Amino acid sequence: MPRTALRRRSDKVRLALAAGMGAVWLARGLRSAGQYELRGKTVLITGGSRGLGLALARELAWRGARLAICGRDPESLERARASLARTGAEAIAVPCDVTDRQSVQELVEAVHRHLGQIDILINNAGVIEVGPAETMSLADYEEAMGTNFWGMLYPTLAVLPEMRERRSGRIVNITSIGGKLGIPHLLPYSASKFAAMGFSQGLRAEVAADGIKVVTVVPGLMRTGSPRNAIFRGQHRSEYAWFSISDSLPGLSISAERAARKIVEACRRGDAEVLFPVTTRLATVANAVAPGLTTNLLGMVDRLLPDAGSRPRGRHTGSESHSWLSPSWLTRLGDRAARRYNQLAPARGKTTE
Catalytic residue annotation = 189
The Cα 58–Cα 60 span in angstroms is 6
Q: How far apart are the first and last CA of the chain?
A: 66
**Distance from the Cα of residue 262 to its chain's centroid:** 10
**Burial (Cβ within 10 Å: 0-12, 13-18, ≥19) of residue 289:** exposed
The amino acid sitting at 261 is R
- Write the CA distances from 302 to 15, 176, 317, 334, integer angstroms: 58, 19, 21, 23
The Cα 246–Cα 234 span in angstroms is 18
- Write the CA distances from 166 to 27, 43, 107, 163, 212, integer angstroms: 28, 16, 20, 5, 9
Q: For residue 315, what are the β-bridge partners?
A: 233
Closest to 346 in 3D by CA, of 49, 44, 45: 49
The Cα 131–Cα 302 span in angstroms is 11
The amino acid sitting at 165 is E
The 10 Å Cβ neighbour count of residue 112 is 14
User: Are 317 and 232 spatial neighbours (Cβ–Cβ below 8 Å)?
Assistant: yes
For residue 260, the surrounding DSSP H or E stretch is helix 256-269
Q: How many helices (H) and strands (E) does the chain have?
A: 12, 14
The Cα 230–Cα 10 span in angstroms is 64
The Cα 92–Cα 120 span in angstroms is 15
